[in-house]
């Protein structure tokens, strides 16, 4: 095996191969032949799947400077060196099926990276620097131990496919709704209780899978015309907080379990007056979007930081008129069993929820229209 490996690498150097296949070679350490002398300056794709590697060399980028694709699926990697960030041309990195517990922040320096696969590791968090990958199109972090996603993930403006199945997520950052190129979002088998109000508002988003989140009973009505997976959702018995069940009805209250803390009022059809705080936030939001520089001129005591952050990322937008909402919502329930999708989604008890900005929009909202 060692002789065969040596000959394979020797031929790759002599003939200036762009692709090198070292899958299934029973490698415990990274082959030193790849790193001798000048390395493989012409190599663009390195396949090392199904080996037993535990780490990577620090001088990988120095010896393989033109790598575009690196496949390390199914090894025993426990750590990735900081030097990984020096692979300036890398576009695809597959680290799935390893033993990674942490991901170094230097991953954010891979500015050419388009596809990052980290499924089936032991990751409990992702570094905020993931948000620096503005060319990233595919991110797969399924089958890890993630309890949250980085707040800066919304900066991955090119992201099209995000897979977070089989983790421990209890919520989804509403900033993800600002990823206007995101086409497919999969969050099956987590611990989700609530989805962002704006999820599905983007026309680009066409596929949303939240199967087997047993505590999830409400889907934003924006998802009604999307391809959704919600089998196994809403099957648990949830304890309702306070008198919410009496005020809104048990089914609607269950769909609202996990509402963001910023929601101070849950309105109804009979409440025709929008609170002053909400009106002020809507006015400031209009100013911010027309002349954003004026917001920075406001005295710092004018608004708490939490509300200033809301100006950039509102709770959501009215499902009828698109008015931004900040502290109040007017929800309207449409049980899935009563919609045209009832025959498609059988093993679920979820409902679509329209989040409106006023009692007028609440009364006139039509799920079909």
Give the DSSP H or E segment for 224. none
Query: pLDDT band at 309, cuts 50/70/90?
Result: confident
The chain-wide mean pLDDT, for the chain, equals: 90
Helix, coil or strand: residue 59 = coil
Q: Cα(100)–Cα(78) distance, rounded to whole angstroms?
A: 4
Tokens describing residue 237: 């018995």
* Whole-number pLDDT of residue 239: 46
Q: Cα(194)–Cα(169) distance, rounded to whole angstroms?
A: 11
Q: Cα(138)–Cα(106) distance, rounded to whole angstroms?
A: 18
* Whole-number pLDDT of residue 237: 64
Indicate whether this model's pTM tops 0.95: no
Query: pLDDT band at 345, cuts 50/70/90?
Result: confident
Give yes or no for a contact between 328 and 265, defined as CB atoms under 8 angstroms apart: yes
Q: Which residues pair with 116 in a beta bridge?
A: 93, 139
Least confident of 105-114, 142-151, 178-187, 308-317: 308-317
* Whole-number pLDDT of residue 61: 92
Tokens describing residue 38: 């000048």
**What's the mean pLDDT in 164-193?**
96
First to last CA, the chain: 66
Q: Which residues pair with 161 in a beta bridge?
A: 138, 184
* Whole-number pLDDT of residue 292: 54
Whether 299 has a pLDDT exceeding 60, the answer reads: no
Question: Which bin fits 90, alpha (ψ -120 to 50), beta or left (φ > 0)?
Answer: beta
* Whole-number pLDDT of residue 346: 76
Q: What angle do CA 54, 55, 58 make, to 5 degrees?
A: 165
* Whole-number pLDDT of residue 240: 45
Nearest CA to 303 out of 336, 276, 277, 272 is that of 277
Q: What angle do CA 44, 83, 17 make, to 5 degrees?
A: 15
* Whole-number pLDDT of residue 301: 46
The string of pLDDT tens digits covering residues 5-47 is 888 888 888 888 999 999 999 999 999 888 887 778 999 999 9
Phi (first) and psi of residue 200, to 5 degrees = 95, -5
Q: Three-state SS string across 340-367, please?
A: CCCCCCCCCCCEEEEEECCHHHHHHCCC
Whether 289 has a pLDDT exceeding 80, the answer reads: no
Q: Cα(40)–Cα(13) distance, rounded to whole angstroms?
A: 6
Give Cα 293 to chain centroid, integer Å.
30
Q: Cα(121)–Cα(344) distance, rounded to whole angstroms?
A: 33
The string of pLDDT tens digits covering residues 188-230 is 999 999 999 999 999 999 999 999 999 999 999 999 999 999 9
Q: Three-state SS string across 70-131, please?
A: EECCCCCCCCCCHHHHHCCCCCEEECCCCCCCCCCHHHHHCCCCCEEECCCCCCCCCCHHHH
The string of pLDDT tens digits covering residues 78-112 is 999 999 999 999 999 999 999 999 999 999 999 99
Q: Which residues pair with 328 in a beta bridge?
A: 265
Q: Cα(57)–Cα(81) distance, rounded to whole angstroms?
A: 7
The string of pLDDT tens digits covering residues 242-255 is 444 444 578 888 88
Helix, coil or strand: residue 143 = coil
Give the DSSP H or E segment for 2. helix 2-14
Give yes or no for a contact between 302 and 330, defined as CB atoms under 8 angstroms apart: no
Q: Are strands 218-220 and 351-356 parallel, antiparallel or unpaired?
A: parallel
Q: Cα(222)–Cα(270) distance, rounded to whole angstroms?
A: 24
Size of the chain in residues: 369
């Amino acid at each position: 095996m060692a002789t065969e490996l040596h000959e394979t690498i020797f031929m790759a150097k002599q003939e200036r191969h762009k692709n090198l296949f070292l899958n299934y070679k029973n490698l415990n350490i990274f082959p030193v032949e790849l790193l001798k002398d000048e390395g493989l300056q012409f190599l663009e794709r390195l396949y090392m799947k199904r080996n037993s590697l535990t780490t990577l060399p620090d001088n990988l980028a120095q010896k393989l400077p033109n790598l575009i694709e690196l496949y390390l699926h199914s090894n025993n990697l426990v750590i990735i060196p900081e030097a990984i960030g020096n692979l300036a041309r890398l576009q695809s990195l597959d680290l799935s099926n390893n033993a990674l517990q942490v991901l170094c922040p230097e991953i954010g320096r891979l500015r050419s990276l388009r596809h990052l696969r980290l499924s089936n590791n032991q990751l409990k968090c992702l570094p905020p620097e993931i948000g620096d990958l503005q060319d990233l199109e595919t991110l797969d972090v399924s089958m890890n131990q993630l309890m949250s996603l980085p707040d800066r993930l919304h900066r991955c403006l090119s992201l099209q496919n995000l897979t977070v199945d089989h983790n421990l997520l209890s919520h989804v950052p509403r900033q993800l709704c600002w990823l206007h190129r995101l086409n497919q979002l999969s969050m099956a088998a987590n611990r989700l209780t609530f989805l962002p109000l704006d999820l599905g508002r983007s026309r680009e988003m066409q596929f949303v899978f939240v199967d087997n989140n047993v505590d999830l009973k409400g889907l934003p009505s924006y998802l009604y015309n999307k391809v959704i997976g919600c089998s196994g959702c809403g099957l648990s018995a949830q304890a309702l907080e306070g008198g919410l069940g009496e005020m809104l009805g048990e089914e609607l209250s269950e769909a609202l379990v996990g509402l963001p803390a910023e929601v101070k009022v849950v309105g109804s059809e009979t409440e025709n007056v929008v609170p002053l705080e909400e009106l002020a936030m809507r006015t400031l939001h209009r100013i911010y979007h027309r002349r954003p520089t004026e917001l920075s001129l406001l005295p710092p005591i004018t608004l708490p930081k939490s509300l200033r952050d809301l100006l950039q990322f509102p709770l959501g937008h009215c499902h009828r008129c698109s008015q931004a909402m900040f502290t109040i919502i007017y929800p309207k329930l449409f049980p899935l069993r009563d919609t045209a999708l009832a025959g498609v989604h059988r093993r679920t008890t979820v409902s679509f929820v329209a989040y409106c900005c006023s009692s007028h929009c609440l009364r006139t909202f039509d799920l079909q229209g």
